[in-house]
Every structure is written in C-alpha cells, then in structure tokens.
C-alpha cells in the first residue's frame, strides 16, 4: 500500500492529528492523506453528520459532557479502519480512553502552535463563530488557559511533534512523513 508505515507490534496504518483548535489539523490531514494515498476524515465533521447537529448545538443542548460522550463513541467506531488520517477535535486527549485508543490504532502527531498564532487563525476562520462553541471565557485567555491544561496531555499522547506556525500544510505533511520514516528506522534497529 502506498506510504504504508509498518512498525513493530502496532497497527500503523492510521495517523491521528491532535492539537488545539486552529492549529491546522484538517488542512494538514487532507494534505498528508493526499501524499500517502490514504483517506482523511475530520472527526468533528463526521460527528456532526452522524448526529445531525452542529457541535455548537450539541454543546448547547447536552453540555460539554454530552459532546465528549459522542466524541468517544465515534473514535471507538473509526479506529478499526486502516490507511486513514484523522483530524481530531482539540479536546479529544482529555479522555484517557481516547488517548489509549489512538496510540493503539496508529501514530499520533501533535500539531503545535503558540497561543498568538491560534488566536489569529481562529479570528480569521468563519467556522469559529458558527460551529465552535466557546469552552470557557472565550478569546485569547481561553486559549492560554486550556493550552496549559492540554499541552501535557498532547505531549504524553504524541509520537511526533510538529510545529505549525508559519508553515504551509504541504510542508507540515512532508515533515510528518519524514518523522514517521525516522521512527520506523529507529524501531528496526
Ligand atoms: C474542541 C475543539 C473542536 C470541537 C469542539 C471541542 C475543544 O474541534 O471538537 O468544539 O475542546 O478544543 P477542533 O479542534 O477541530 O476545532
């Protein structure tokens, strides 16, 4: 299979992109899947299609816990696939079950960006208002506070870390491919 990454005991034909909102996970997922000849899925979009409501509406009607339950169930369903690149929601790492599932089903790549970059991108992204709920106080303060909580979880879960600031999705995808190969060679030694 083109681009197959065959490493050790792990089923390695999936890549999970994790990281904060606005880091560019979906654009990189699309690009990386194109380079590998794989399929890519945005889990937020898949969740909205499965439940027939926007994430904002699910948050409004069921609260964050309702959304997290749906997110966990969806991940459980999709991890059985092969040769997929998944763009995950920014909070997927909060649940230890999700972290274990992703690590077992493929390689986990953390797309990092600093709070200033994320804030700038979210402000210029029309999906921000329509689809993405404020999780706490909103704005840059929310980003800084949630990054402090989530960064240790992203770090703990990730096999590979790639900085997205000032880089195009195609460059980030190429870097991920290089790092996956390095990882494969290291495991074979
Ligand atoms: C969330 C990020 C969103 C979406 C939901 C919760 C979060 O995904 O899953 O609004 O907790 O950071 P993106 O990271 O794809 O925007």
pLDDT tens digits, one per residue of 132-159:
777 777 789 999 999 999 999 999 999 9
Q: Which residue has the tokens 């190429």?
A: 174
Which stretches does DSSP call E strand in 19-137?
Answer: 39-42, 84-87, 107-112
Given a cut of 60, is residue 35 above it in pLDDT? yes
Look at phi and psi of residue 8 and say left if phi exceeds 0, alpha if psi is from -120 to 50, else beta.
left
Distance 181 CA to ligand 1 centre (A): 29
Q: What percent of the chain has pLDDT over 70?
A: 89
> What is the pTM (predicted TM-score) of this model?
0.91
Query: Would you say the CB of residue 89 lies under 6 angstroms from ligand 1?
Result: yes
Which pLDDT value is given to residue 123?
85
Residues paired with 14 in a beta bridge: 84
Is the per-residue pLDDT at 16 higher than 50?
yes
Cα-Cα end-to-end distance for the chain:
23
Q: Is the minimum distance from the CB of 21 to ligand 1 under 6 angstroms?
A: yes
Which residue in 181, 175, 17 sits closest to 110, CA to CA? Answer: 17
Work out the pLDDT band at 41, boundaries 50, 70, 90: very high
Instruction: Please tell me the predicted confidence (pLDDT) of residue 2.
Output: 42
Residue 110, classified by CB atoms within 10 Å of its CB into exposed (0-12), middle (13-18) or buried (19+), is buried
- CA–CA separation, 39 and 127 (whole Å): 23
Q: Is 132 in the pocket of ligand 1 (CB under 6 A)?
A: yes
H or E element at residue 81: none
Q: What is the mean pLDDT of residues 41-59?
A: 96
Q: Which atom of ligand 1 is nearest to the CA of 91?
A: 11
């Amino acid at each position: 299979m083109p681009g197959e990454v065959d490493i050790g005991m792990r089923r390695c034909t999936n890549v999970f992109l994790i990281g904060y909102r606005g880091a560019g996970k979906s654009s990189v997922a699309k690009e990386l899947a194109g380079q590998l000849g794989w399929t890519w899925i945005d889990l937020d979009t898949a969740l909205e299609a499965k439940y027939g409501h926007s994430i904002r509406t699910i948050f409004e009607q069921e609260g964050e816990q309702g959304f997290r339950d749906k997110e966990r169930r969806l991940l459980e369903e999709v991890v059985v696939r092969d040769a997929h690149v998944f763009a995950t929601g920014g909070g997927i790492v909060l649940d230890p079950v999700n972290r274990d599932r992703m690590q077992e089903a493929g390689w986990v790549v953390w797309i990092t960006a600093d709070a200033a970059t994320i804030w700038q991108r979210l402000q210029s992204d029309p999906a921000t208002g329509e689809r993405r709920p404020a999780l706490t106080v909103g704005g840059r303060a929310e980003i800084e506070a949630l990054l402090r909580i989530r960064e240790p979880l992203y770090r703990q879960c990730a096999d590979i870390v790639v900085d997205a600031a000032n880089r195009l999705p195609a460059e980030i995808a190429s870097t991920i491919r290089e790092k996956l190969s390095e990882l494969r060679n290291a495991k074979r030694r």
